[in-house]
Amino acid sequence: MKSFSFRTSGESHGRGLTTILEGIPAGLPLEMKRDVDPELKRRQGGYGRGRRMQIESDQAELISGVRLGETIGSPISMIIWNRDWENWQEAMSPLPPDPDGNPKALKALYLPRPGHADLVGLLKYDRRDTRDILERASARETAARVACGAVCKTLLSQFGVSIGSHVTSIGSVNAQAPSEFPEDINKAVDDSPLRTLDNDAAIKMMETIDQAKEDGDTLGGIFEVVVQGLPVGLGSYVSYDAKLDGRLAGSVMSIHAIKGVEIGMGFEGTRYPGSQVHDPIVAREEASRSGGIGRTSNRAGGLEGGVTTGEQLVVRAAMKPISTLRKRLPSVDMRDGSVADAAVERSDVCAVPAAAVVGEAMVAIVITEAFLEKFGGDSMSELRRNFDSYVTYLSERGYGSR
Ligand code: EPS
């Protein structure tokens, strides 16, 4: 059995989303209101979101795994109720439809949207109504991921590891990269409508989102997740599935609408010779989590050989524009194969700031799994002992040969 895992369930307009997170040690102080709900709220924000976010006010209800404010080592299960369910009870009912009811109340859709899971889902699962597909394919599911990520972040914060994110572009508008990240990235960007470190770019980004909205169009963009405080040595180079870069890329790529993931310099690194890409090694006494060794740059984005270097971990992701368009693209009516425009549903124009928060959660989950692999422990005290002993080893090992 895998010792660490998480799974979500739930449809966008169903009763709610549920999640089970397994493998968190006993003794982690955890409260939904303090540790999880603020993260859910962060995911709901951002300029360009649709009216749905005014209906929902996500909160996680804890069902198991925590007693008297601390985890007890058992699976942690949480529910996030969908407020909008109220308006969808008939369309999303688990019961067979009323033969005398109004078929319109079932909100069926037969015009798959290019770019969405609608068409492939219909064919794969042999369904007729794309609602059977889009309800689960919806990015609403990411609320449950963020709840799990929030628990993982709470664990990591006990060891001085923090995770933040910021948006680096929306459509063709780029934010200026800062020469150095602020210590608390989220504190610096969470009040900004686009969650960006460049206020001038944020204004242009809002304008471009307004224009897309007016045009019945949508916009994607790029976000960056940054992990601070990691020790050297998480992940491994010894096997393909131990490499942390592969695990991070897979998890971040699994977020809805993500089409590309880069680590550190990423694709840009191909444009330069090796001498301008790799990060020179220097002795740095104060680098206690990387054996007194540091780097003069961090183009590798904190990973070498699929293993953390102790520098900041930098993961960047590209989100394509949302596929629900008021400017409808050609499609086919799945009832009779006739030419038709794709379906339109209420949706967002741009959700890159929210996707960045989901990116943090997925990175938190992967890092927590790697952290627990390296340091193990059924309890937080055991995990702490193992972690402290490794950091002590790093600070005492020196440079000499054995
Ligand atoms: C989504 C469509 C919109 C988004 C939704 C994802 O929802 P609705 O169809 O109800 O307007 O708001 O995102 C969320 C509900 C959320 O919590 O992020 C889609 O089709 O993916």
Q: Is 115 in the pocket of ligand 1 (CB under 6 A)?
A: no
Whether the Cβ atoms of residue 344 and residue 382 lie closer than 8 Å to each other: no
Confidence band for 285, pLDDT divided at 50, 70 and 90: confident
**Considering only CA atoms, which residue is closest to atom 7 of ligand 1?**
347
- Cα of 170 vs centre of ligand 1, distance in Å, is 19
Residue closest to 350 by CA, chosen among 116, 50, 51: 50
Residue with the two structure tokens 């005290």: 381
Both tokens of residue 341?
Answer: 């425009």
d(C-alpha 29, C-alpha 67), whole Å: 10
pLDDT, one tens digit per residue, over 334-357 is 999 999 999 998 899 999 999 999
CA-to-CA dists, residue 186 to 163, 166, 225, angstroms: 8, 7, 10
**Considering only CA atoms, which residue is closest to atom 2 of ligand 1?**
347
**Considering only CA atoms, which residue is closest to atom 14 of ligand 1?**
140
The DSSP secondary-structure symbol of 98 reads P
Sequence-ordered list of residues with C-beta below 8 angstroms from that of 336, at least 6 positions apart, any chain: none
Q: Is 80 in the pocket of ligand 1 (CB under 6 A)?
A: no
Residue 247's pLDDT is 98
d(C-alpha 13, C-alpha 141), whole Å: 10
Whole-model pTM: value is 0.97
Q: How many other CB atoms are there within 10 angstroms of residue 102's CB atom?
A: 9
Q: Which atom of ligand 1 is nearest to the CA of 346?
A: 11
Sequence-ordered list of residues with C-beta below 8 angstroms from that of 60, at least 6 positions apart, any chain: 32, 36, 37, 40, 78, 79, 80, 147, 150
Q: Is 138 in the pocket of ligand 1 (CB under 6 A)?
A: yes
pLDDT, one tens digit per residue, over 1-20 is 568 999 999 999 999 999 99
Element (H, E) at 174: strand 173-174
- Cα of 224 vs centre of ligand 1, distance in Å, is 22
pLDDT, one tens digit per residue, over 19-59 is 999 999 999 999 999 999 999 999 999 999 999 999 999 99
Residue 179's pLDDT is 87
Q: Which atom of ligand 1 is nearest to the CA of 345?
A: 9
pLDDT, one tens digit per residue, over 362-400 is 999 999 999 999 999 999 999 999 999 999 999 888 776
- 113-124: average pLDDT: 98
Residue 397's pLDDT is 85
**Phi, psi angle pair for 262, to nearest 5°:** -130, 155
Q: Which atom of ligand 1 is nearest to the CA of 351?
A: 18
Q: Which atom of ligand 1 is nearest to the CA of 50?
A: 12
Sign of the CA dihedral 253, 181, 145, 158? positive
pLDDT, one tens digit per residue, over 237-270 is 999 999 999 999 999 999 999 999 999 999 999 9
Whether the Cβ atoms of residue 362 and residue 141 lie closer than 8 Å to each other: no
**Phi, psi angle pair for 308, to nearest 5°:** -65, 145
d(C-alpha 139, C-alpha 1), whole Å: 29
Decide: helix, strand or coil at residue 88.
helix
Q: What is the DSSP string of 239-307?
A: SGGG-HHHHHHHHHHTSTTEEEEEETTGGGGGGS-GGGTS--EEE-TT-GGGTTEEES--TTTTEETTE
The answer, yes or no, to whether residue 401 has pLDDT greater than 80, is no
d(C-alpha 214, C-alpha 385), whole Å: 57
Residue 398's pLDDT is 78
- Cα of 350 vs centre of ligand 1, distance in Å, is 11
Residue closest to 318 by CA, chosen among 221, 251, 248: 221
Q: Which atom of ligand 1 is nearest to the CA of 142?
A: 18
On average, the pLDDT of the chain sits at 96
d(C-alpha 71, C-alpha 64), whole Å: 9
Count of alpha carbons within 13 angstroms of residue 235, beta-carbon side: 24
Q: Is 289 in the pocket of ligand 1 (CB under 6 A)?
A: no
Share of the chain above pLDDT 70, in %: 99
Q: Is 140 in the pocket of ligand 1 (CB under 6 A)?
A: yes
- Cα of 51 vs centre of ligand 1, distance in Å, is 9
The answer, yes or no, to whether residue 177 has pLDDT greater than 90, is no
Sequence-ordered list of residues with C-beta below 8 angstroms from that of 211, at least 6 positions apart, any chain: none
| Domains of the chain as residue ranges with CATH | 107-396 (3.60.150.10)
Pocket test for ligand 1, best of 345, 348, 350 (most atoms within 8 A of CB): 348
